[in-house]
A and B are shown apart, each in its own frame.
Chain A
Amino acid sequence: MSGLNEFCARIGIDAAAVRQALAARAGADDAPWYMQAVLGIGAWVTAIASLFFVGVMMDLVLDIDEPNAVVALIGIVLFAFSLRLLHRKADGAFTGHMAVAFAVAGTLLAAAGIAFPLESLWVAVLVTLPFAAATIWQQRSILLQFLVVSIALILAIVAAWHRWDHMITDLAAVTMPIGVALLLYPPRLDVRPAAFALLVVPQGVELLITTFEQGWTLWHGWPAKAALLIVFGFLIALNLRRMADGQRRLMVLAGVAAAIAVALLLPTGAAVGLVLMLLAYTLGSRSLAIIGALAEIYFIGQFYADFQSTLLTKSIILMVAGAVLLLCYGLLAMATRTWRQA
Chain B
Amino acid sequence: MVDPQIELRDLQALRAAGLLSARRHPAAIDAIRDEAFWARWGLRALLALGAGQFLAGVVFFFAYNWHDLSDIAKFAVVEGALAVAVLGALAVGLDRMFGQVLLIAASMLTGVLLAVIGQIYQTGADVFELFLAWAVLILPWTVISRSAVQWLLWLVVAEAALWLYCEQVPMVVGDMTWDQLWVLSGATVALALVAREVAVRADFLWLAAHWTRLVLLFGALAILFLPAAGYVLDIDTTETPLLCVSAFIIFLAASGLAYWRKLPDFAALVIAIGFADAFFICLGFRLIDESIGFSLNDVGPGLTSLAAMIAWAIAGTGGAAKAMRRLHGELKVVQA
Contact = CB atoms under 8 A, between A and B. Distances in A.
Contact of B17 (A4, A24, A327): A24
A325 B53 contact: yes
Contact of A300 (B52, B266, B274): B52
Interface string A258-280: 00000000100000001001000
Contact of B22 (A186, A285, A293, A320): A186
Contacts of A314: 57, 60
B27 A11 contact: yes
Given A7-B31, A38-B274, A304 B5 contact: no
Nearest to A290: B211
Interface string B15-49: 11111101111111111111000110111011101
A318 interface: yes
A186 B12 CA distance: 8
| Most chain A CB neighbours (cut-off 10 Å) among B25, B54, B277 | B54
Given A56-B296, A312-B61, A4 B5 contact: yes
A56 B51 contact: no
Nearest to A12: B24
Contact of B313 (A10, A37, A49): A49
Interface in A278-325: 281-285, 289, 293, 296-297, 300, 303-304, 310-312, 314-325
Contacts of A281: 38, 41-42, 45
Nearest to B275: A38
B16 A189 contact: yes
B299 to A, nearest CB: 5
Nearest to B32: A2
B318 A56 contact: no
Nearest to B23: A185
A31 interface: yes
A184 B51 contact: no
Contact of B56 (A14, A30, A96, A322): A322
Contacts of B315: 94
Given A43-B317, A53-B306, A325 B46 contact: yes
B261 interface: no
A93 B64 CA distance: 54
Nearest to A105: B310
Contacts of B298: 60
Q: Is the interface of A mostly helix, strand, loop or mixed?
A: helix
B170 interface: no
Interface stretch (A66-74, A121-129, A328-336): A328-336
Interface residues of A, number: 97
Given A53-B310, A184-B25, A311-B64, A329 B19 contact: no
Contacts of B201: none
A1 B10 CA distance: 10
A97 B281 CA distance: 14
Given A3-B6, A14-B19, A284 B57 contact: no
A304 to B, nearest CB: 7
A315 B59 CA distance: 8
Contact of B20 (A11, A255, A321): A11
A119 B50 CA distance: 48
A230 to B, nearest CB: 17
Interface stretch (A15-23, A80-88, A110-118, A221-229): A15-23
B267 interface: yes
Contact of A282 (B13, B29, B64): B29
Given A4-B3, A41-B274, A289-B41, 13 more contacts: A20-B17, A24-B17, A32-B266, A55-B296, A56-B302, A61-B299, A184-B26, A314-B60, A317-B57, A323-B50, A326-B46, A326-B50, A333-B98
19 contacts: A18-B14, A21-B13, A21-B19, A22-B14, A24-B17, A28-B13, A42-B277, A42-B321, A46-B317, A52-B306, A60-B303, A93-B325, A94-B321, A96-B321, A97-B314, A188-B16, A304-B60, A312-B60, A322-B55
Interface of A: 1-7, 10-11, 13-14, 17-22, 24-25, 28, 30-32, 34-35, 37-39, 41-43, 45-46, 49-50, 52-53, 55-57, 60-61, 93-98, 101, 184-190, 192, 238, 242, 255, 266, 274, 277, 281-285, 289, 293, 296-297, 300, 303-304, 310-312, 314-329, 332-333, 336
Closest 7 CB pairs of A and B: A322-B54, A42-B317, A325-B50, A318-B57, A319-B57, A94-B318, A322-B53
Interface of B: 3-10, 12-20, 22-34, 38-39, 41-43, 45-47, 49-61, 63-64, 66, 98, 266-267, 270-271, 273-274, 277-278, 281, 296-299, 302-303, 306-307, 309-310, 313-322, 324-325, 328
